[in-house]
Amino acid sequence: MGRLADVAWSPSVGERVVDLYCKAYDVELADCAQTSGFGSFDAFFTRPLREGARPIQKGSSTVACPSDGRLESAGKIDESSTFVVKGRAYRVEELVGDAGDARRYVGGAGCVVYLSPRDYHRVHSPVDGVVRVVRSLPGDYFPVNDLGVRHVKNLLARNRRVAIAIDTPGLGRVTVVMVAAMVVGRITVSGIEARDVPFGEHLPDLAVEKGTEIGVFHLGSTVVLLLEGRAFDTFVMKEGPARMGDLLARVRGLG
């Protein structure tokens, strides 16, 4: 499906496919930098936003939502470094791919943002910092929806995923995990020049500001956000519809 999405189409075919897709999934293009003339399905699916379409929550004491979608399962990470997603406990180590890194998040918090077919599919940094480590982990491509989460054990840690670890001046490490799903062609990450992030650990040392684009889903999927325990205070955003850049959480002891 990923390869098919990259195939160039004629203007007439592209116009027809985009029109049908927008009607089927209630896609709103008004916030996009481009609203027509897409050269392929992938170009349409990964369409960027126009400048100013998503105001970014500023301030060192706040965390911004990393993507559009639906916020769910916002909660604390317990002493065994697990947190609960729709009644299922997930070990942070399995999500980020490193046991030592997982210990940072004890007492912190995790949340999930589910992206639907209608959503904007670029992912942005929720904080100011440096992308220090990117871990690309192999896995399956089960659908990340209510049915999949309910019936596939350990789904979010079983699927293909890319963990983007951002070191910050005051919050410690914040990790954004991009989880692939059924018909996800590939995942690209800022600072890594590859069509799909190669498996293994990468060290891009890429400085980012809150709201900087850090990754793109080429079809699919879901974001898991992990916040260190020493700084997390409370989630501000209520579970439900979410927009990239909106105020997601507050942290302690910062201006």
Q: State in Å, rounded, how far the first CA of the chain is from the last one.
A: 46
Establish whether 221 is a catalytic residue: yes
Q: Which residue in the list 42, 67, 68, 190 is annotated as catalytic? A: 68
For the chain, the structural domain boundaries read 1-53, 55-251
Nearest to 81 by CA among 113, 110, 58: 110
Whether 46 and 115 have beta carbons less than 8 Å apart is answered as no
Q: What's the pLDDT at 61?
A: 85
User: What is the dihedral sign for C-alpha 134, 137, 142, 145?
Assistant: negative
Count helices and strands in the chain by DSSP H and E runs = 7, 17
**Half-sphere exposure (CA, 13 Å, Cβ side) for 175?**
30
**pLDDT of the chain, 255 residues: tens digit per residue:** 778 888 999 999 999 999 999 999 999 999 999 999 999 999 999 999 999 999 998 888 899 999 999 999 999 998 888 888 877 888 999 999 999 999 999 989 999 999 999 999 999 999 999 999 999 999 888 877 766 666 677 888 888 999 999 999 888 899 999 998 877 668 999 999 999 999 999 999 999 999 999 999 998 789 999 999 776 788 999 999 999 999 999 887 544
Helices (H), 26-73: 41-45
Q: Give per-residue pLDDT as tens, 66-94.
A: 999 999 999 999 888 888 887 788 899 99
Establish whether 128 is a catalytic residue: no
Establish whether 36 is a catalytic residue: no
Q: Which residue in the list 42, 67, 73, 124 is annotated as catalytic? A: 124
Whether 136 and 198 have beta carbons less than 8 Å apart is answered as yes
Whether 42 and 14 have beta carbons less than 8 Å apart is answered as no
The two three-digit tokens of residue 21, written as one number: 């897709």
Q: Give per-residue pLDDT as tens, 38-71.
A: 999 999 999 999 999 999 988 888 999 999 999 9
Whether 145 and 72 have beta carbons less than 8 Å apart is answered as no
